[in-house]
Amino acid sequence: MIKTTNLTKIYQTDEVETTALNEVNIEIKEGEFVSVMGPSGCGKSTLLNVLGMIDNPTSGEYYFNGEEVGHLPERKRSNVRKHNLGFVFQSFNLIDELTVFENVELPMLYTKVPSAERKTRVEELLEGMNIMHRRNHFPQQLSGGQQQRVAVARAIVNRPKLILADEPTGNLDSANGDEVMKILSELNASGTTILMVTHSQYCAEFGNLIIRMLDGQVVTENVVKQYL
Amino acid sequence: MVGNYFKVTVRNLLKNKLFSITNIAGLGIGIACCLLILLFVNYEMSYEKWNPYADRIYRPHMDINFGGSVMTAAVAGAPIAPDAAAELPEIENWCRFRDYGSYLVRVEGTGISNFSEDAILTVDSTFFDLFPVKLLAGDKRTALTLPNTLVMSKSQALKYFGTVDQAMGKVLILENEEPWEVKGVYENIPPSTHFKADFLLSMNGNEEVANAPPLWAANNNFHTYLLLKEGTDGKIFEEKFDALSKQKMEETSSQLLGMTLAEFEATGQYARYGVQKMKDIHLHSDLQVELEPNGSFKYVLIFSAIALFVLLIACINFMNLTTAKSTQRSKEIGIRKVLGSNRQKLISQFFSETFIMTFLSVLLALSLAAIAMPWFNELTTRDISIPWTNASFWLVLIGGMIVVSLVAGSYPAIFLSSFDPIQSLQPARSKQGKHGRLRSSLVVFQFAIAITLIIGTMLIYNQLQFIQSKKLGFNKEQVIVIDDAYALEGNLNAFKQKILQEPTVSSATISSYLPIPSSRSNTTYSQSREFRQDHALNMQRWLVDHDYLNTIGMTIKEGRYFDRAFPTDSQAVILNEAAIKILGYTNPVGKKIYGLTGNLQGPPAPDDFIEYHIVGIVEDFHFESLRETIGPLGMFLGRSAGRLAIRYQAADSKNLLKTIEDSWNGMAPDQPFSYQFMDESFGRMYLAERRIGSIAMIFSILAIFVSCLGLFGLASFITEQRTKEIGIRKVLGASISGVVALLSKDFLKLVLISMVIAIPFAWWAMNNWLQDFAYRTNFKWQIFVLAGILALAIAFLTISFQSIKAALINPVDSIKSE
């Protein structure tokens, strides 16, 4: 599903040049659950952003489903993004002015899902996440765990092929963190590919492959469990 | 999707109340200003539009420079219309107006007192062919054909007779003696007409027309209208009229002066007639002897520019506030982009937001405009209303709303939608950079406009002050002027004597001629008993009595004033310095000038002249507005019973006025009593300037207010962004005043830059405006400094509210803010 060749990202600020990704070559197959680990500043998030198509690589190629997407213009990228990808962030990133229901519904507005179907899908998901009773609340009225569940619901509502999660448990206590990991595992079990950046070994082991990074390069790839 | 935009917009508005209020109020005020001014401009442009023939009607006007006087007036001699119609086949019909000023009017056979009416015109019977006002009673073909018949407007018919039908066939007594029969009643003439006419008197039987000399350049008292045949080319007609005028002037020159027109013009003098389109009269005609004060295209432009500026300031506010608030919106923008929104979608989202805000502002603007309308009408002396039921008004309004949304919304939409999703999702980062600079330039632009308006206002008031305090050559203070004094008839002198017995009254004079808007007439005099262009003195002829000088307070420079001890003074004249200059006399007292008797029918014989000896020279005094230079003037002993001017010495004029009114009522019980204070009437000559002053002041206050709203909003967001910095500085030992200075400094710098831009611009613009005045104030540097200090102070006050608030926050809280 994902293949990169010599993927490089260099940040240029005035006089300082920072290499965030240095010729990264990875491959992720459909249905995998990949965890990315490494110390702060090693390039995990940059990798996630580039693979999530919200950032362009400086050089190298990025193939998504066989198509080179690393150098597409923003218009085309946003089109690929909205139909194929779902994002979960450490800080949830819900829109404060929208209710729980509206936040989850939002991606479907961009993919032009008919109104009746939007309603069904949102309600199904909220039911499944056990936050249906909070559907008319605003994000700031929810606990962290609830917010992240809304964010996960929003990420999967368009049934993306790939979910990109940037430290999804980073702002949560262990119980809520477990809850979110459980949901991600279930999604993976039902066929969704997941790429997750995390600091936690415990969380990383929910995946079947752990990529470790240092200074913008992939150091090791450990297979945790093999799918049969 | 639109529903989603709408929801987010409304919730955002409610969440940031201060931001919403400043934004909507600022834009609302800007739109309200624009709305009022556009309605005013529309009204000014609508003059004569009610008249279907307006495009085909032309008005001859005179342009004469002769004997030291320049007359560029909206009037022409009586024979011009019939002559032109006989010579030029393009003319289908014509009509002349003669305006004799105000009349005393009452209904015959009733005991009801006189009214003083001033909208009375004597017109040819063709009036309704050129000005097709609907006749409610009477026959337009015959209504004005007979002598001593009149038609009146509906409102006057109701005032005098109660109903339209009652008025027909009744007789009105004018000036206490002339009977005029009512032969028709017409619908009120629309106010968007360059003249007012409540009564139209038949020209038939008018002695002035009957005795009019056949020469064009004499007796220029008639406002004349020529209706051209359909399809006539106006340009060609103008040329043909000019040619005819030249031919007629040639005749006049050879008959009166015994020289060719070319010889006459070689002396630097000229006499010519031209025509102007009736549609151009209201906004483009600035002639002497107009029927009503006209509007001015220049002021229409100035007002439009000011309105546009205020609107622009409001739009800039909107841009500044919206982009300054971007840090708060950046997360939403990031998420929307990550979720698949592209830039176009975001742009349309922000435009829809702007549109909703603009819509709310327009609602506010409509209410503000409706509330301000009566006051605005008073200011502009117009009768404007908001055309609620007019479809094109709403179309223009919606169009305007879209334009304002595009102007105000474009920059924020492009700016906000350009956010990089990664950056926008990172916690609060300052996004100043180049957009901060653009915002600063916009603030500079706003304040430059506001400061220009402040300077403009100050200079206008300075000029008005200058006019009020200028040495005028007479004393306008403490003089009461009684109007329509002729109504006292035989009692006028007795009335004067009675008033003089009042201890507070020092003198009184009977004359129609006063250095306030009053009767004027130019007459030609000669240095010899022949009519020669190089001997001519064309000057104002004022009829005065023996007490005139004492009462009005001019100064005799040489010789003496009229004196009862000299019976020969009836043939004496007192000239002003300007007249002497034209005559070129070195020792003028005792010298002679000659005036013509009666009407000129051809070259005058020596016996046609009357001799006047010069007994005194009066120092030049400003008898016209200070827009004009002082022209030649001669005072003659004579009776002109238009007004009685009374000089008094009392702090309180109330009791005196009461006494005067009582005496009046005793001597002329049925005549209307009206008076004015000379200084106030003098001030009224500058009504247009006062109006400009008031409008400029109001708009500068609004411009400053709206700019400050923007500054206030901007300061609150910048302060919010710098909260952490403020906390750290305070922890490190910064004082409150230090923090306030830190936050204010950047803004005040912008205001200073605005001043540098505004001052030369204001100087240039106001210098242009002052050119209208023959006598004008100097530019005082103090005005510029004062305007600058004012702008700085207002800006500082606006910012200090936010910066003091920020400086007072407990440092721990500010540091925690990120």
Instruction: Name which of A14, A49, A54 to mutate to probe chain B: the one with the most chain B Cβ atoms within 10 A of its Cβ.
Output: A54
- Would you say residue B670 has pLDDT above 50? yes
Q: Nearest CB to B425: which of A74, A82, A93?
A: A93
Q: Would you call B697 exposed, middle or buried from its count of C-beta atoms within 10 A (0-12, 13-18, 19+)?
A: middle
- Which pLDDT score is estimated for B320? 82
In three-state form (DSSP H/G/I as H, E/B as E, the rest C), the secondary structure along B337-395 is HHCCCCHHHHHHHHHHHHHHHHHHHHHHHHHHHHHHHHHHHHHHCCCCCCCCCCHHHHH
Q: B92-126: per-residue pLDDT in tens?
A: 999 999 998 888 899 988 777 788 898 999 999 99
**What distance in Å separates the CA atoms of residue B122 and residue B195, rounded to the nearest whole number?**
13
**What distance in Å separates the CA atoms of residue B208 and residue B201, rounded to the nearest whole number?**
14
| DSSP string of B714-731, one letter each residue | HHHHHHHHTHHHHHHHHH
A190 in Cβ contact with A15 (< 8 Å):
no
Structure tokens at A68: 């080179």
**Residue range B53-78: mean pLDDT, rounded:** 90
Most confident of B151-160, B336-345, B462-471: B151-160
Bigger pLDDT: B414 vs B138: B138
The DSSP 8-state label assigned to residue A191 in this structure reads T
Structure tokens at B482: 């009684």
Task: Give exposure, B601-632, as e/b (b: 16+ Cβ within 10 Å).
Answer: eeebeeebbeebebbbbbebbbbbbbeeebbb
B609 in Cβ contact with B526 (< 8 Å):
yes
Q: Give the residue numbers in B contacting A (CB under 8 Å), as ranges.
A: 1, 4, 7-8, 11-12, 15, 331-332, 334-345, 421-422, 425, 427
Looking from the CA of B342 toward its CB, the CA atoms found within 13 Å total 13
ipTM attached to this prediction? 0.71
Lowest mean pLDDT among B193-207, B243-257, B366-380, B696-710: B696-710
Q: Any CB–CB contact under 8 A between A82 and chain B?
A: yes
Lowest mean pLDDT among A73-82, B207-216, B360-369, B721-730: B721-730
The closest alpha carbon to B149, from B96, B104, B204, belongs to B204
Bigger pLDDT: B442 vs A120: A120
- Would you say residue B132 has pLDDT above 90? yes
Task: Tell me, rounded to whole angstroms, the distance of Cα B232 from its chain centroid.
Answer: 34
**What distance in Å separates the CA atoms of residue B662 and residue B803, rounded to the nearest whole number?**
66
Q: B748-793: per-residue pLDDT in tens?
A: 898 899 999 999 998 898 888 888 787 888 878 888 888 888 888 9
Instruction: Name which of A83, A96, A112 to mutate to probe chain B: the one with the most chain B Cβ atoms within 10 A of its Cβ.
Output: A96
Q: B488-516: per-residue pLDDT in tens?
A: 888 888 999 999 999 999 999 999 888 88
**Residue range B174-184: mean pLDDT, rounded:** 92
Q: Nearest CB to A74: which of B331, B343, B422?
A: B343
Contact call for B342 and A98, based on CB within 8 A? no
Q: Nearest CB to B340: which of A49, A96, A111?
A: A111
| Sign, Cα dihedral of B202, B208, B210, B212 | negative
Q: A9-44: per-residue pLDDT in tens?
A: 998 877 788 899 999 999 999 999 999 999 988 988
Both ends of chain A: CA-CA distance in Å? Answer: 18
**What distance in Å separates the CA atoms of residue A152 and residue A166, rounded to the nearest whole number?**
12
Instruction: Name which of A95, A101, A103 to mutate to probe chain B: the one with the most chain B Cβ atoms within 10 A of its Cβ.
Output: A95
Mean pLDDT of chain B: 87
> Residue A4 forms beta bridges with which residues?
A62
Mean pLDDT of chain A: 89
- Which pLDDT score is estimated for B816? 54
**What distance in Å separates the CA atoms of residue B199 and residue B195, rounded to the nearest whole number?**
12
A153 in Cβ contact with A125 (< 8 Å):
yes
- Which pLDDT score is estimated for B802? 81
B469 in Cβ contact with B622 (< 8 Å):
no
- Which pLDDT score is estimated for B211? 83
Minimum Cα–Cα distance from B8: chain A residue: A97
**What distance in Å separates the CA atoms of residue B476 and residue B468, rounded to the nearest whole number?**
10
- Which pLDDT score is estimated for B818? 42
pLDDT band at B599 (very low <50, low <70, confident <90, very high): low
Contact call for A87 and B345, based on CB within 8 A? no
Minimum Cα–Cα distance from B421: chain A residue: A54
Structure tokens at B235: 């340009």
Ramachandran quadrant class, A153 (left: phi over 0; alpha: psi -120 to 50; beta: rest)? alpha
- Which pLDDT score is estimated for B811? 67
- Which pLDDT score is estimated for B421? 79
Ramachandran quadrant class, B106 (left: phi over 0; alpha: psi -120 to 50; beta: rest)? beta
Helix extents (H) in B553-686: 577-583, 654-667, 678-684
- Would you say residue B600 has pLDDT above 70? no
A77 in Cβ contact with A119 (< 8 Å):
no
Q: Name every chain B residue with its beta carbon within 8 A of the beta carbon of A79.
A: 340, 342
Q: B136-169: per-residue pLDDT in tens?
A: 999 999 999 999 999 999 999 999 999 999 999 9
Minimum Cα–Cα distance from B345: chain A residue: A110
Alpha-carbon separation of residue A225 from A2, A181, A184, A206, A228 (angstroms) = 19, 16, 16, 9, 9
Q: Name every chain A residue with its beta carbon within 8 A of the beta carbon of B334.
A: 93
Contact call for A95 and B15, based on CB within 8 A? no
**Residue range A175-190: mean pLDDT, rounded:** 91
**Residue range B76-101: mean pLDDT, rounded:** 94
Instruction: Name which of B330, B339, B347 to mutate to probe chain A: the one with the most chain A Cβ atoms within 10 A of its Cβ.
Output: B339
H/E stretch holding A199: none
The closest alpha carbon to B751, from B714, B711, B780, belongs to B711
Contact call for B339 and A93, based on CB within 8 A? no
pLDDT band at B426 (very low <50, low <70, confident <90, very high): low
In angstroms, what separates the C-alpha of B346 from chain A's closest C-alpha? 11
**Residue range B519-541: mean pLDDT, rounded:** 83
pLDDT band at B616 (very low <50, low <70, confident <90, very high): very high
The single-letter code of the amino acid at A93 is N
Angle at CA B77, nearest 5°, toward B296 and B486? 80
Contact call for A78 and B11, based on CB within 8 A? no
Contact call for A89 and B15, based on CB within 8 A? no
Per-window interface: A 15-54 vs B, CB < 8 A: 49, 52, 54
- Would you say residue B256 has pLDDT above 90? no
The closest alpha carbon to B213, from B155, B255, B276, B156, belongs to B255
Bigger pLDDT: B387 vs B12: B387
Q: Could you tell me how many residues make up chain A?
A: 228
Q: What angle separates helix B736-770 from helix B723-731, to the nearest 10 degrees?
A: 130
Contact call for A93 and B1, based on CB within 8 A? no
Contact call for B342 and A111, based on CB within 8 A? no
- Would you say residue B430 has pLDDT above 50? no
B25 in Cβ contact with B368 (< 8 Å):
no
**What distance in Å separates the CA atoms of residue B739 and residue B256, rounded to the nearest whole number?**
85
Q: Name every chain B residue with its beta carbon within 8 A of the beta carbon of A109.
A: 1, 4
Question: How much of chain B, in percent, has pLDDT values that exceed 90?
Answer: 41
- Which pLDDT score is estimated for B530? 82
Report the DSSP pairing between strands B609-618 and B572-576: parallel
> Residue B675 forms beta bridges with which residues?
B482
- Which pLDDT score is estimated for B277? 95
Contact call for A78 and B340, based on CB within 8 A? yes
B42: helix, strand or coil:
helix
Most confident of A169-178, B110-119, B560-569: B560-569
Contact call for B421 and A54, based on CB within 8 A? yes
- Would you say residue B402 has pLDDT above 80? yes
Bigger pLDDT: B692 vs B267: B267
- Which pLDDT score is estimated for A228? 41
Contact call for A93 and B427, based on CB within 8 A? no
Minimum Cα–Cα distance from B329: chain A residue: A95
pLDDT band at B273 (very low <50, low <70, confident <90, very high): very high
**What distance in Å separates the CA atoms of residue B51 and residue B47, rounded to the nearest whole number?**
9
Token look-up 């006459």 returns: B264
Q: Name every chain B residue with its beta carbon within 8 A of the beta carbon of A154.
A: 339
- Would you say residue B432 has pLDDT above 60? no
**What distance in Å separates the CA atoms of residue B37 and residue B46, rounded to the nearest whole number?**
14
H/E stretch holding B331: helix B326-338
Q: B39-52: per-residue pLDDT in tens?
A: 999 999 999 999 99
Q: Could you tell me how many residues make up chain B?
A: 818
In angstroms, what separates the C-alpha of B420 from chain A's closest C-alpha? 8
**What distance in Å separates the CA atoms of residue B528 and residue B539, rounded to the nearest whole number?**
16
Q: Name every chain B residue with its beta carbon within 8 A of the beta carbon of A92.
A: none
In three-state form (DSSP H/G/I as H, E/B as E, the rest C), the secondary structure along A105-124 is HHHHHHCCCCHHHHHHHHHH
Per-window interface: A 102-161 vs B, CB < 8 A: 102, 106-107, 109-111, 154
- Which pLDDT score is estimated for B374? 94
Structure tokens at B31: 């739109």
Minimum Cα–Cα distance from B424: chain A residue: A93
Structure tokens at A9: 């990202």
Contacts of B774 (CB under 8 A, 6+ apart): B626, B627, B628, B629
B549 in Cβ contact with B561 (< 8 Å):
yes
B62 in Cβ contact with B75 (< 8 Å):
yes
Q: B477-488: per-residue pLDDT in tens?
A: 899 999 888 888
Minimum Cα–Cα distance from A75: chain B residue: B342
**What distance in Å separates the CA atoms of residue B255 and residue B598, rounded to the nearest whole number?**
17
- Which pLDDT score is estimated for B606? 82
Q: How many beta-carbon pairs under 8 angstroms link A with B?
A: 71
Q: Any CB–CB contact under 8 A between A166 and chain B?
A: no
Alpha-carbon separation of residue B317 from B79, B410, B706, B753, B792 (angstroms) = 62, 13, 8, 18, 18
- Would you say residue B406 has pLDDT above 70? yes
pLDDT band at B69 (very low <50, low <70, confident <90, very high): confident
